[in-house]
Amino acid sequence: MLATEIDPENPRGVIDVELHGDDEPLTLLRSVAIYGPNASGKTNLIRAADALGALLGQSLETPSDEPMGLYVPFRLNAQSAERPVMLGIRAVVERRVYEYVIEYERAGFLSEKLKRIDADGSELLFDRAADVVTGSWTTHPQFALVLRSFRSNKLLLSLADAFAPDLAGEIAVGFRRLLAARNPTWTHPMYAGQEAAQRAHQDKSGFGQWMLEWLQAADFGIVDYNVNEVEGARGRGKELSPNEEIELELLHATDSAPVRLKWQLESEDTRRMLQLLPFIYDLSSARRGQAYFIDEISASMHPKLFAAILREFNSDVLPDSGTGQLIFTTHDTTVIDGEARSAPLRRDQIYFTEKDASGASRLYSLAEFRERQTVNLRKRYLQGRYGALPVIGRFGT
């Protein structure tokens, strides 16, 4: 998510992050789009981020005699079908850069390493190899509590977060905020609009007003909304979650009085917008480092609307907020249409996935290609200049 020097005078699509002990801020990308053929590995990137965040959150809850969850090794090579999985992240947490890498198999974690990277170099905080742990944290008195709870299927960083807060600080929490896969297609359609309803119910003047403005700007014909309690929800002998006790109702303009529609009766594209709005709001108003990974973000959305949303998100950076980052996959090339200097996305915000002969995916950036700011990126991509296109064969006989 590092920005390049392709357009240094233009703040579009970037965030400057101040670091401890460094005179120059770190310039990060506000959003990244990932393109590539079907089955080229785009969704696996989303799942990998989700898996690392989930392992950090669930590690302490896993019984010591249970095998590892979220173990999905590379399957396209018979020799690697049961090999360890390696996942890692390099991120800014509390104005410091950390690098965290884990390696695990079905039986437990094989290695785990955490480094802090400063302007003067890096410090190894801990390095776990099987049951041997080294690094500067091991000399701290609180780390003895961590080692006392050491198990093969427990992450040291999760244990430190629980038992050594002076050491761990916000590192584990910060990583989890930055590894959030928010895929609306994974949500059951029956509950797809419930988060927006709950947010609007709890924060009418904030999220509710913002949601209405975005729905009106999207030209869905919506003039207002209501959030109602589900009739009989509390008295029918069935326990409901807080999300199920309320219902979102949208008011549509007509040639007479507005017509009320429950969100379940809305079109697919309106429901998709309702699914995405809480995520966009979170990232647009985030006052701490936060990231969302969203698969197929533009599904059921008009290309012109998607481009407008992305352009707004890419430029809507407030002095005291706007630290959220959005990583998404899409097949919609309209957001890279036109001249590179005026497209909704910068060149370094565009990534591609492509499979090699072994079936392994490679992730690479458009910034690796030397291009002028006047070229049409969409045209060149579809011409095959950057790769990451399907090679379509003949259908039928």
Q: What is the pLDDT of residues 67-93, one digit of tens each?
A: 777 888 888 877 767 789 999 999 999
Question: 325-336: per-residue pLDDT in tens?
Answer: 999 999 999 899
Query: How many CB atoms within 10 Å of residue 120?
Result: 8
Q: pLDDT band at residue 235, thresholds of 50, 70 and 90?
A: very low
In the chain, % of residues over pLDDT 70: 91
Q: What is the DSSP-derived secondary structure letter of residue 5?
A: S
Question: How many Cα atoms sit within 13 Å of 341 on the Cβ side?
Answer: 8
3-class SS at 232? Answer: coil
pLDDT tens for each residue of 167-199: 999 999 999 999 987 765 555 555 667 889 999
The model's pTM is 0.90
Please report the beta strands in 139-219, taking only residues with DSSP state E, as ranges in sequence order. Answer: 180-181
